[in-house]
A and B are shown apart, each in its own frame.
Chain A
Amino acid sequence: MTNPEILWVPCLKMNSQDPAYGDRLIRMFLLSHYERGHVLFETGTICSTPSYSSLMPPTIPASGSVWRILPESPVELTTLQNFDGFIELFVSPHHIPITVLETLWPGPKIKRVILTRPKHLSLANFVSAIEGIRIQFPGLGLWVDQLTTGWDALTYLLAIFPDLQPWQVQDNELDKLLSIGQQLGRDVLLTDFSGRPPIKIPFLPRYAPGPARKWRRVPIYPRFV
């Protein structure tokens, strides 16, 4: 398939204060996803893991250390400029931090922008907000949050914006992402932001393999047998 791939990044939220327990949980999370997966540290304790971001500004600017900025707790532009690390920016179409984006993009600091969808935003308005960002900031890595967007809208968005990627697709809904990939003729890759090579996820067998003669049996009602 030549079309751009759809990426699946499994996510784990860590808010444990107990580093020993956190370590084990992350191990299990990575083991069950072929060592691919992104961890969000909601508290200050950060365990070493190849792909992560944290809600606090990471103090050690180790490679791959990323600060997640949420729309409800925006950070001053100067603080961001002085921050020695990378940024994962969550934005809502109602509050797009234009100055932050204009100052820091293009540049290496902004790793990705994740769009969340406010509750009452119509799909048409969401589409035009995304298109607006794409035009103003070409090349910006845009992700769209599945949980707030919903599957119907996400399906359409992935079809109309081939460079958009889904965020927060849960493990038990991976089949939905795979069937979108199958419909659009795009491979789905399991990956994270650690730089390790992505893994292609095979599509599910689509339809019941019903050879015609199996369907054409005599209708025997169990009562009469």
Chain B
Amino acid sequence: MEDMLRYQPIWPESAQAGWNLIQMLKITTTRSCWMRCRFCDFSHFVPMIDDHPVPSLSLLQASQSHPALAEAYDLIKIRGGLSFFEPWSYFRSAIRHVHKRNSAPIQALSAVEVQHFHRVEQKPVQEVLEELLWAGATSLGPGGSELLVDSWREEMASLRLSSRQWLSIHKIAERVGLKSQASLMVFPGITEEQIRVHFEIFRELKSLSVIEVKPFRCLGTQLEIMGNPHLLEVLATIQLIKKSFPHVMVAMNIDNLSRDMCELLQWHGVSRAMVTKDVIE
């Protein structure tokens, strides 16, 4: 109880300037993943899901022919679970097609996937990242940085890369020329100490310009019983980010949020409001 994150009320007048709506195209590679992160609704025990083998992906086809790719967006996000069968070259080609068909910046995959391909294809991390850049990605997604506290990760996502591994992949990404994206998942009961440890890792990234705040959504995960974080926990987390990284922009997805909530986010310093315009699954 004592280590609870405390919200400090602020007046609407102290609103920070700027509220950019970012229209997004979300491309989901696959909705199943073997990594069993407890906070993720993609985590299923594969290769069997309810007696059916995992279907092969349709990402490559979609990237060549989906009509949504003819529209204009501010950002294209390509993300999803870890596939069992498709090789790295499959994803690389798909990203290349997306890039050729649409000029929006592409935030593709994440450190988790990069490490996966590094291992299964025995390809140096730097090479995977260079090829990602070549394919057309502008930044590496923040996946894997939900909460960079190793004791917590042991419990919630024990198969995943450690905080240090996440950091080293992002450092290589920076070197290669991909922008680093980082995130912070707000869990119910998140403590100031956990956030502080999380921020220590971020401080080592040179090009960090955006932190995406992701309130945990319990539905469909193994942690459903925990419920969602409280509104005041989300606001207090944003306050901590603004305090620790005054020059970093705070982003948040505002799909399905109330008008009041958007107003509150704006006062508290969220400046990139992400809206899902289209989805390719």
Contact = CB atoms under 8 A, between A and B. Distances in A.
Interface of A: 122-124, 127-128, 150-153, 155-156, 159-160, 179-180, 183-185, 206-208, 210, 212, 215-216, 219, 221, 223
Contacts of A183: 4, 7, 230, 232-233
Nearest to A211: B155
Interface residues of B, number: 32
A206 B189 contact: yes
Q: Which 3 A-B pairs have the closest CB atoms?
A: A152-B260, A160-B9, A183-B232
Given A155-B232, A180-B232, A207-B188, A122 B158 contact: no
Contact of B12 (A124, A155, A179): A124
A203 B82 CA distance: 40
A152 B188 CA distance: 17
Contacts of B189: 206-207
B54 interface: no
A153 to B, nearest CB: 4
A219 B45 contact: yes
Given A152-B258, A183-B230, 7 more contacts: A122-B259, A122-B263, A123-B12, A123-B259, A123-B260, A127-B12, A221-B45
Nearest to A175: B227
10 contacts: A127-B11, A151-B231, A152-B260, A155-B232, A159-B232, A180-B230, A184-B232, A207-B188, A215-B38, A216-B158
Interface string B34-75: 001010000001001001000000000000000000000000
A152 B232 contact: no
A183 B235 CA distance: 11
Contacts of A155: 231-232
Contacts of B230: 179-180, 183
A209 to B, nearest CB: 10
A219 B188 CA distance: 25
Nearest to B266: A124
Contacts of A219: 36, 45
A123 B223 contact: no
A133 to B, nearest CB: 16
B155 A212 contact: yes
Interface of B: 4, 6-7, 9-12, 36, 38, 45, 48, 51, 154-156, 158, 188-189, 223, 225-226, 230-233, 258-261, 263-264, 267
A176 B125 CA distance: 47
A123 B263 contact: yes
Contacts of B188: 206-207
Given A183-B230, A208-B223, A219-B45, A150 B12 contact: no
B147 to A, nearest CB: 15
B1 to A, nearest CB: 9
Given A183-B7, A183-B230, A208-B226, A152 B261 contact: yes
A212 B258 CA distance: 35
Contacts of A150: 258, 260
A216 B232 contact: no
A150 B260 CA distance: 9
A156 B266 CA distance: 13
Contacts of A128: 12
Nearest to A185: B6
A182 to B, nearest CB: 8
Contacts of B226: 207-208
A122 B189 CA distance: 30
A153 B264 CA distance: 8
A220 to B, nearest CB: 9
Contacts of B45: 219, 221
Contacts of B12: 123-124, 127-128
Contacts of A124: 12, 263, 267
Nearest to A222: B45
Contacts of A216: 154-155, 158
Nearest to A207: B189
A197 B92 CA distance: 69
Nearest to B268: A156
Contacts of B10: 160
Contacts of B9: 156, 159-160
B194 to A, nearest CB: 13
Contacts of B38: 215
Contacts of B6: 185
